[in-house]
Structure 1
Amino acid sequence: MTTHTMTRAALAATLAGGLALAGFAPAAHAAQTRDAAAAQAAPARHGSTAARAAFGPYGYGGVKLGMSAKTAKATGKVVHKRGLDSVTCSGWDLKAHRNDRNSVGLYISKKRGVAVMFAPKHVRTPQGIGLGSTHKQIKKAYPKVKTAASGFPYVKAPGNPKAYYSFLLDDKGRVYEMALGLLSQDCVN
């Protein structure tokens, strides 16, 4: 397993409450990781593009958590990534934010619909957290943040009682990978 695969797997495991990954784990998007290390977090301002196109709490880019594969495909905003599917879930990308061939931007569960979404670079949660944000900024934005058994922070998504955010931090305490997932997702466990 490559380092990139392990980081995406760790984030997926964090989304599953710190349990081991079941089935598969695509590689992390290397360019996204490189860009995130250089990014600086800035709170979203009302009226800004970041505030209008927030990552979560219900989805991102016109794709919502819980949306079936058929409905998500009908939006015209996703593309299926053949070869990155498991028994329970399929791998997809947002057309506006394509990943390399070994990585996905979201998983769609056969039972629960869009189950897990990974943040593209330059997007923020409604609380202003994105790639490049610090652990200190996460704690300030989300006072109820917890640490999963995997060691990474996660928090229920404010405004959506059915979802939560998970963050991977680099050795300097900055977010280099961020995900939004359904509490009931079955793509990882």
Structure 2
Amino acid sequence: MKIKKGRIIIYRPYKIKQIKFNELSSRRITEWLLYLANRTQLAQNLGIGRNTLYRYLDKIKKGTSSIEELFTLQQLQTLIKLENADWHKYLTQKADLAAKKAAKADAKADLDHQEAQLTKTLQQYGWGEITDNLEFVQLMDLQQGSTEQKQRARVIFKRWPAAKQKKYDKYQKQVQNHE
């Protein structure tokens, strides 16, 4: 603003009121700035040194100054942009995580279906019994070996479900009757 007094022109700067945020917005930006923001990125984007940034953060933590008092209007706009970018990044990561969980659940359901089909096919052709019989033969060989092998056989036998243990007992009786 120019004011003329005789031949001398006096310039008076415009006075701009300090920017004010509402309480909720101020609290959110402050919490983000203090706890979640990347300090290096802040210093680079705000155009201030790291020491200055840490001094500002210390003043904000102590409550002696507010964000509005410490940062310029352009810096506040930059802070808001950075906070919004972090929020959008969080939302996309959350959506990606939900999509991955859904895909994983679909894949598990598909694998369960494939396993059921495979088991059904193997049972039709008698392959399920053949693989069990191979395990039974290996266990019988271990039981006839040294004490260490016998101990290993006991551990393997205890890991099997009760139905498989009963099958093994039947198989063992059949083998002893044929010898």
Fold conserved (TM > 0.5)?
A: no
From the CA coordinates, give the structure whose radius of gyration is larger: 2
More strand by share: 1
Instruction: Name the TM-score, length of structure 2 as normaliser.
Output: 0.19
